[in-house]
């Protein structure tokens, strides 16, 4: 017996995005939102959410960037990167973002109960009190 599919399917947009990642140049806007900033040799493409989804929040509310990116792009799979991910490819590939603030960006990495790591200008990381308000930008990955 054949399956009957009712409603939209995800395979076509996903396949289209995988193709787009293969042929896109770094800095190009992706079909489902965000900008291609890096492709690894292992077939993973890194996409930064558009500037319109960047938020300024305390570390405790950092996941608002994920919600905002999802609402702005209608794409799923957004996350706040770890300290290491935010340094590379995040900071290292910032020239391919649509906009990069010279302010600091929260990562999802904690130091302890009171502090977490952020990346500031120059690509360096530091730990600050989680209550501080700084930029947060979501990322997602696509396989190609």
Where do the structural domains in the chain lie, given as residue ranges?
Answer: 13-143
The DSSP bridge partners found for residue 117 are: 127
Find the length of the chain: 144
The secondary structure of 47-85 as a DSSP string is EEPPGGG-EEE-GGGTTHHHHHHHHHH-----BPPPHHH
Per-residue model confidence as pLDDT tens for the chain (144 residues): 444 434 444 445 567 777 788 889 999 999 878 999 999 988 999 999 999 999 999 999 999 999 999 999 999 999 999 999 999 999 999 999 999 988 899 999 999 999 999 999 889 999 999 999 999 999 999 988
> Could you name the CATH architecture of 13-143?
Roll (3.10)
> What pLDDT shows up at residue 12?
52
């Amino acid at each position: 017996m054949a399956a009957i599919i009712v409603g939209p399917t995800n395979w076509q947009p996903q396949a289209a995005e995988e193709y787009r990642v293969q042929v896109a140049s770094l800095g190009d806007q992706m079909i489902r939102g965000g900008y291609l900033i890096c492709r690894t040799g292992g077939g993973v493409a890194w996409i930064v959410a558009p500037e319109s989804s960047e938020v300024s929040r305390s570390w405790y509310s950092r996941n608002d960037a994920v919600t905002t990116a999802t609402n702005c792009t209608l794409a799923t799979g957004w996350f706040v990167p770890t300290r290491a991910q935010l340094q590379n490819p995040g900071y290292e590939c910032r020239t391919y973002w649509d906009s990069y603030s010279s302010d600091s960006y929260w990562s999802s990495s904690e130091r302890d109960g009171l502090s977490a790591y952020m990346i500031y200008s120059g690509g360096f990381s530091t730990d600050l009190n989680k209550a501080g308000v700084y930029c947060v930008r979501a990322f997602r990955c696509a396989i190609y």
